[in-house]
Amino acid sequence: MTIVGKTKSSPGFVRSRWLLTGVLGIYFIYTFLPLIYVITASTKTNPDLFTSFGLWFSSDFHLWQNLSDLFTIQNGIFLQWLWNTFYYALVSGLGSAVFATFAGYAFAKYDFFGKKFLFALVLGAVMIPQTALVIPIFLLLSKIGLLNTPLAVILPSLVFPPGVFLMRAYVDEAVSNEIIDAGRVDGAGEFHIFSSLAFRMLMPGVTTVFILSFVASWNNYFLPLVVLNSTEHFPVTVGLAQWYASAVSGSGGSLLFTVVMAGALVSILPVIIAFLIMQRFWQGGLGAGGVKA
């Protein structure tokens, strides 16, 4: 937007600029309250957590001790949880991004029998309550002996319908029909056109779907809660929630309160940092999905 110098410095503009910035500033403080809390809480001793003010540090800086407790409790199971979370999210993210790209490409560039019906089915999938799916998945997995294995979390997470809508919209925009037709005229097969012409143009879209699916899997709680029962397979969400429950009910000893906070801090930092680095992709992707939907 080209704002002319004169209007920009007018008192009216400056006043409303400060006013609106102030409105955003208030919400910013609200957004960061829990994050400040988790940072200060993980630097405290457990007694200090109760006696010192929640949104500021206490005199005794206990972060390193809490972190060392976090990574040694129960034979260092927390590190295993972090790795599990990363591994499940990475495999589901990659798999669902690739499959969604294939499917989105088919929906965007071909006419075929049953297209509308199939797309409506994929679209309708978002309305299905989690319990309606996860409970039968639990029963079916137990029948084939996959319960309580990494695959029990990974395989269902490979189905990521929002990725399909997104890729359909993205393919529409990024790959012109002329390019595909030119490839056909040159005698290239449909897969050759896809792999050597289209896929490269789709990379930003694929990355976006990967990030969204990765985050969805990273944040998932209900599925792993139901299909896993041994602690060594837990992702961080299920593990920390279990520690939290035992801390609240007092059965795990009061030490756990600050350790749970340290665990929360360690588990959200990598994702927040990754988000900051890759913001170009998720912003574009959410935008495309929202505008097209």
Partner 1 sequence: MSETAVQRRPRRRIIVNKRIAPYVFLAPFVLLFVVFLIVPLIYAFDLSVFKSALVGGTRFVWFDNYKRAFTDANFWAGVGLLLKFGLMQIPVMLGFSLLFALILDSGVVYAKSFFRISFFIPYAVPAVIATLLWGYMYGPAYGPFSQLATAIGWPKPDFFNDNTILPSIANIAVWEYMGYNMIIYFAALQAIPTDHEEASLMDGAGAFIYALRIKLPMIIPTIIVTIIFSIIGTLQLFSEPYLMINLARNVINSHFTPNLYAYTLAFTGQQYNYSAAISFVLGGVVAVISYAFMLAANRGVNK
**Member of 81, 105, 170, 234 binding partner 1 (CB under 8 A):** 105
**Rounded CA gap, 136 and 281, in Å?**
35
| Contact status, residue 258 vs residue 46, Cβ threshold 8 Å | yes
Measured in degrees and rounded to the nearest 5, phi and psi for residue 281 equal -75, -50
- Count of positions (residues) in the chain: 293
Q: Least distance from C-beta 109 to partner 1, angstroms? A: 8
Amino acid at 120: A
Q: How many residues sit in the footprint of partner 1 (CB under 8 A)? A: 116
Restricted to residues 180-219, the positions that interact with partner 1 (CB under 8 A) are: 182-192, 194, 215, 218-219
Is residue 277 part of the contact set for partner 1 (CB under 8 A)? no
Distances (CA, A) of 198 to 115, 161, 195: 21, 21, 6
Distance of alpha carbon 204 from alpha carbon 207, whole angstroms: 5
Mark the segment that binds partner 1 (CB under 8 A) among 61-69, 70-78, 202-210, 239-247.
239-247
Contact with partner 1 (CB under 8 A) among 227, 256, 260, 262: 260
Segment contacting partner 1 (CB under 8 A): 58-66, 72-80, 201-209, 233-241?
233-241
Write out the binding residues for partner 1, residues 16-75 only, by CB under 8 A. 16-17, 20-21, 23-24, 27-28, 30-35, 37-38, 41, 49-50, 53-55
- Chain Cα centroid distance, residue 121: 24
Beta carbon nearer to partner 1, 12 or 145 = 12
Q: Of residues 74-93, which lie at the interface with partner 1 (CB under 8 A)?
A: none
Identify which of residues 12 and 75 has a Cβ nearer to partner 1 in the complex.
12
Separation of alpha carbons 250 and 255, rounded Å: 10
Lookup: tokens for 190: 């449909």
Alpha-carbon distance of 266 to 120, in angstroms, equals 40
Rule CB under 8 A: which of 107-136 touch partner 1? 109-112, 115, 118, 121-122, 125-133, 135-136
